[in-house]
Chains A and B, each alone.
Chain A
Amino acid sequence: MLAKIHITLKKDVLDPQGKVIANSLTDLGFGGIQSVRQGKYIEIILDGDDKNAATVKLNKMCEKLLANLVIEDYSVEIN
């Protein structure tokens, strides 16, 4: 099973990188950018095919290690 994890800064947390990327894209002539938020994307390949058990496990991974819950949110998707 392939698990896809997206980690992003929480909505109201300042994202300095996103701000700079947005400015730079605008300078390069890409108009109409409202905002840019940068995050992390992680792929994990798991044994077995129990999606429910995997979701529980992946959530734990995010909470224990992958995401910094003080400032970040995460989402888990399993294919």
Chain B
Amino acid sequence: MKSHVIVFPGSNCDRDVAVAIEKISGSAPEMIWHKNTSIEHSDLIIVPGGFSYGDYLRCGAIASTSPIMHEVVQKAKAGVPVIGICNGFQILIETSLLDGALIRNNSLSFICRDIHIKAENSTSIFTKNNIIAKMPIAHNEGNYFASTETLKKIKDHDQIAFRYCDEHGVVNEQANPNGSMENIAGILNDTKNVLGLMPHPERAIEINLGGDDGKHIFESVLN
């Protein structure tokens, strides 16, 4: 099991995700600096959360032009599993690996709190443990938006990975923390090997931190 975590200037969940992967899989991921241009064999690439380049210009926009992202796109197209968490999700969208856009939360403020998500797709390597999971969100721009055609496309291709729901799994307006279209919390690419999600599974891997539901998302890929 060989995993890689991409580190940009301004990434700040890189250590958290490395700790989570090591705890779950038993082996620490390799940290890859953004100026690198290649990744050797990888079973999982993670683009972690944070504020790459300070979120300046547009969240994820500048990081998506980094040398390493060219390689991540190649690896993704070759079928390597890739997860983008929070800012990582924004970066994957800016590279066009994933569809849609992430705009400012409808509350117009940063939100950090526990939410619940429910897997919609049940066949991908990330979502096959079909669960209702509690984990934190912490973002300013997590409001998922897609054009009508794009939304239809991702629905037709079963690309919605997770939706925000209440603790019982009911998807409704009250459970939507940021105004995301149709409560979308995470999406897949059409070949289902690339996942982007706003919630932070790496912050929900032990009871001491408030819950361990986040483990399921990593476990399904790592084991």
Q: What string of 1s and 0s marks CB contacts (under 8 Å) between B183-211 and chain A?
A: 00000000000000000000000000000
B62 at the interface (CB under 8 A from A): yes
Closest to A36 in B: B57
User: Which residues B52-78 have CB closer than 8 A to chain A?
Assistant: 53-54, 56-57, 62, 65
Query: For chain A, what secondary structure do more than half of its interface residues adopt (helix, strand, loop), or is it mixed?
Result: helix
Report the contact-size class of chain B (Cβ under 8 Å from the partner). Answer: under 10
A21 at the interface (CB under 8 A from B): yes
A17–B62 Cα distance when bound, in Å, is 11
Q: What string of 1s and 0s marks CB contacts (under 8 Å) between B27-64 and chain A?
A: 00000000000000000000000000110110000100
Q: Which residues of A contact B54 (CB under 8 A)?
A: 16-17, 20
User: Which residues A8-64 have CB closer than 8 A to chain B?
Assistant: 16-17, 20-21, 24, 27-28, 38
A19 to chain B minimum Cβ distance, whole angstroms, is: 8
Residues of A within 8 A of B (CB): 16-17, 20-21, 24, 27-28, 38
A–B pairs, 21, beta carbons within 8 Å: A16-B54, A16-B56, A17-B54, A17-B56, A17-B57, A20-B53, A20-B54, A20-B56, A20-B57, A20-B62, A21-B56, A21-B57, A21-B62, A24-B53, A24-B57, A24-B62, A24-B65, A27-B65, A28-B65, A38-B56, A38-B57
